[in-house]
Amino acid sequence: MKYTKPRAILCLAGLVIAVQVLTRVTGTQYYLTQLTMAAYYALVVIGLTVLMGYAGQISIGHAGFFAIGGYLSAALTTHNLVLFADRPLVLLLDRIGILVRGQDIYGEHLITVAPWAACLLALVAAATIAFLLGIPVLKLKGHYLAMATLGFGTIIYRIALATDYFGEADGISEVPGFTLLPGIGPVPPLVVNGDFGNRVQNYYIAWGVLIIGMVLLLNLIDSRIGRALRSIHGSEEAAEAVGVDTARCKLQVFVLSAVYAALAGVLLTHYNGGLGPSEASVMKSVRYVALVAVGGMANLWGALVMGVGLTFLSLRGVFGSFDDAVFGAILILVMLFAPDGILGLQFHTLAARLKRFGAGGSHDA
Amino acid sequence: MVPTMLELKNVNKYFGGLHAVSDVSFRVEQGTIKAVIGPNGAGKTTLFNLIAGNLVPSAGTIIFQGREIQGMKPHRIAALGMARTFQNIKLFHGMTALDSVMVGRHVRSRAGFLAGMFHLPWTWREEREIRDRAMELLELLDIAGFADVEATSLAFGQQRSVEMARALAMEPKLLLLDEPAAGLNIYETAEVARLITRIRDMGITVLLVEHDMSLVMDISDEIVVLSFGEKIAEDVPAAIQNHPEVIRIYLGEDEEAVV
């Protein structure tokens, strides 16, 4: 059967349903938890794939954007504003209706920012930071861009680790659920949270978001802008010569991938009910890069399959305490033997590369 | 009087102490083919990079269709209607010939990020137009059979054609060709000559840099000769052929010629 975009998406949706049914039949529904989390991580990976694989701009700082999304929505929806209730800013926020009142488990009054507003703020913040960072940083190329984004990731990590507002080393917990749609009549509400009874619903929410995210990116790479992005990767000078505003295109795709990462951060944080500074760590950024590479760089489907698959195994604890080491090793092996990704690998090319490597030859450019 | 497409006024470029282009002025009239010739290191490619915006002149003015363009980014100049090819072909790695030429339609189409992501209905027709136009150009250049082949894996002459198709896809007013016959045999060169005249007949003004004297003499309406960054002659081909200064720099000094 010939590959077409709608057909592939339908197959994926069918597979998602089949997996859920299978876990139900076999009584292994506990897998759904990791599959849900893996879907959110894969959202970061596909966003990064468009930036790295198609536009050719590396970022070793995307855990930073994930953390900006996660931490902002966590902090805004958990910090109690009761003490500041009479401040003008809080009054203004209340007036425009983005605050919610409630009680904590001890019966204390709580005033917090509503999750939808926190989510919106987090996404706007991530986009703004990506924009401001991207203007100077995207002028750099190759190693220099890698180092600059690494620097950004490190800063976000240290901020998360050292700021009282973000819970320092403990991170933020007891993040409330995020009601996407209120219940109408017999239809139950759509809530992103980690409640045991909500597991199936959350599995479908996560995969729904991932599939929509995937469709939008698949459309993008087939469009005029997608061609422009690939042309930048191919030759920046020639892209400029045909009228592609390379600086603007790079900035836009950088912001887009940052928003994808931040959205994943927001939703996963509400699903897990909290997050810690390890989500912002440089190792996480390296892991995203490794997943893009093992998926085949300019290959959204490869990124999705590898992003979900390897993250799922990692979350199931298959790699034990060697977790980070496994992703490091993947990065080395992919670069040496399969620069086009595992899925794009054909047996005879692998054999040739292994032989050449054995003979002491080096990998061609 | 024929309107001026491009005008250079006292253009200078220094690289540190090197005076790569020195006080060069000339006009390119609309609908003509003008050639810039000169020995290696005369500053021809530097001059092209100044015109196309890849380099900023140290001094002087460049006017394209009545607008000063020195210092503008290359993509803005391209959007104004100037296309170019490169001396050492620059194609997009990993893209097919057809996709590469479709990128050439960038300035003639307008779907942005959101329109692309949501695959908005009005973009469908635009996409079809881009594809059809790109295909026509591949046919014009006799490489339609390679539409789905990765452009960088094609034979040298075909890569040149892809680059030319990509430039033509922009529907430029002015086309800059940087050594379009470099690396081609005499038959292919003759083919290029025919193509360039055809492009001129399509209403596109051509400015080319070329080593191959036969090509330049056959097709150019006017020739500018550069030597060590300075313009030493500007005239019709027949006059250039007999210009003593030009003969001197191309054939060497008198004493050397005697020896």
Per-residue pLDDT of chain A (365 residues; tens, 9 = 90+): 678 899 999 999 999 999 999 999 999 999 999 999 999 999 999 999 999 999 999 999 999 999 999 999 999 999 988 888 888 888 888 888 888 888 777 778 888 999 999 999 999 999 999 999 999 999 999 899 999 999 999 999 999 999 999 999 999 999 999 999 888 888 888 999 988 889 999 999 999 999 999 999 999 999 999 999 999 999 999 999 999 999 999 999 999 999 999 999 999 999 999 999 999 999 999 999 999 999 988 999 999 999 999 999 999 999 989 999 999 999 898 888 877 776 666 666 667 777 776 665 444 43
Domain contains B27: yes
CB A233 within 8 A of CB A55: yes
pLDDT of residue A337: 82
Assign residue B7 the CATH number of its domain: 3.40.50.300
- Spatial distance between the Cα atoms of B54 and B68, rounded to a whole number of angstroms: 15
At which residue do the structure tokens 């290696």 appear? B40
DSSP category for residue A97: T
Residue B64 contacts A where some CB pair is shorter than 8 Å = no
B165/B176 same-domain check:
no
Q: pLDDT class for B170, splitting at 50, 70, 90? A: very high
B251/B223 same-domain check:
yes
CB hemisphere CA count around A124 (13 angstroms) = 6
B73/B114 same-domain check:
no
Chain A residues bordering chain B (beta-carbon distance below 8 Å):
216-217, 219-220, 222-228, 230-231, 233-235, 237-246, 252, 256, 298
Per DSSP, the residues of A272-336 read HT-B-GGGGSHHHHHHHHHHHHHTTSS-HHHHHHHHHHHHHHHHTTTTGGGHHHHHHHHHHHHHH
Interchain contact, B78 vs A240, CB within 8 Å: yes
Domain contains B87: no
**Shortest Cα–Cα distance, A230 to chain B (Å):** 8
Domain contains B190: yes
Which amino acid appears at position A296 of this protein? G
Interchain contact, A244 vs B75, CB within 8 Å: yes
- Spatial distance between the Cα atoms of B150 and A117, rounded to a whole number of angstroms: 47
- Spatial distance between the Cα atoms of A160 and A118, rounded to a whole number of angstroms: 17
Two tokens at A163?
């700021």
Q: pLDDT class for B259, splitting at 50, 70, 90? A: very low
CB hemisphere CA count around A360 (13 angstroms) = 0
B165/B55 same-domain check:
no
Total structural domains in chain B?
2
pTM of the predicted model, to two decimals?
0.92
Residue B164 contacts A where some CB pair is shorter than 8 Å = no
B5/B71 same-domain check:
yes
Size of interface A-B (CB pairs under 8 A): 112
B48/B28 same-domain check:
yes
Which amino acid appears at position A6 of this protein? P
CB hemisphere CA count around B112 (13 angstroms) = 5
Query: Which of B117, B137, B153, B159 to mutate: most A Cβ within 10 Å?
Result: B117
B178/B160 same-domain check:
no
Task: Please provide residue A352's backbone torsions phi and psi, each rounded to the nearest 5 degrees.
Answer: -65, -40
Final residue of a structural domain among B141, B169, B197: B169
Residue B100 contacts A where some CB pair is shorter than 8 Å = yes
- Beta-bridged to residue A262, according to DSSP, are none
The reply to whether ipTM tops 0.85 is: yes
Domains of chain A: 5-285 (1.10.3470)
Q: pLDDT class for B214, splitting at 50, 70, 90? A: confident
Nearest by CB to residue A243, choosing from B91, B106, B118, is B106
B176/B259 same-domain check:
yes
Residue B98 contacts A where some CB pair is shorter than 8 Å = no
B210/B148 same-domain check:
no
Report which of B167, B206, B199 is spatially closest to residue B5, judged by C-alpha positions.
Answer: B206
| Element containing residue B205 per DSSP (H, E) | strand B205-209
Two tokens at B259?
């020896």
Domain contains B155: yes
Residue B8 contacts A where some CB pair is shorter than 8 Å = no
Residues in Cβ contact with A135 at an 8 Å cutoff, skipping those fewer than 6 apart: A251
Laid out side by side, the sheet with B82-84 consists of: B82-84, B174-178, B205-209, B33-37, B222-227, B230-235
Query: Which of B72, B119, B176 to mutate: most A Cβ within 10 Å?
Result: B119
pLDDT of residue B116: 94
Domain contains B250: yes
Two tokens at A317?
């604890």
Interchain contact, A220 vs B90, CB within 8 Å: no
Domain contains B61: yes
Domain contains B186: yes
- Spatial distance between the Cα atoms of B188 and B4, rounded to a whole number of angstroms: 31
B140/B195 same-domain check:
no
In A, which residues are within 8 Å of B79 by CB distance?
A: 243
Nearest by CB to residue B113, choosing from A220, A237, A238, is A220
Which amino acid appears at position A107 of this protein? G
Which amino acid appears at position A257 of this protein? S
Final residue of a structural domain among B153, B169, B185: B169
Nearest by CB to residue B84, choosing from A216, A222, A241, is A241
Looking at chain B from residue 123 to 152, which residues have their Cβ under 8 Å from any Cβ of chain A?
123, 126-127, 130
Q: pLDDT class for B254, splitting at 50, 70, 90? A: low
Interchain contact, B109 vs A242, CB within 8 Å: no
B70/B177 same-domain check:
yes
- Spatial distance between the Cα atoms of A55 and A239, rounded to a whole number of angstroms: 11
Domain contains B60: yes
Higher pLDDT among residues A349 and B126, named by residue: B126
Report which of B76, B83, B103 is spatially closest to residue B174, judged by C-alpha positions.
Answer: B83
The pLDDT mean for chain B works out to 92
Q: Tell me chain A's radius of gyration from C-alpha atoms.
A: 22
Domain that holds residue B155: 93-169
Final residue of a structural domain among B103, B135, B169: B169
B164/B181 same-domain check:
no
Query: Which of A223, A253, A256, A297 to mutate: most B Cβ within 10 Å?
Result: A223
Interchain contact, B117 vs A224, CB within 8 Å: no
**Shortest Cα–Cα distance, A324 to chain B (Å):** 31
Question: What mean pLDDT is predicted for residues B64-92?
Answer: 95
- Spatial distance between the Cα atoms of B258 and A205, rounded to a whole number of angstroms: 87
Interchain contact, B113 vs A256, CB within 8 Å: yes
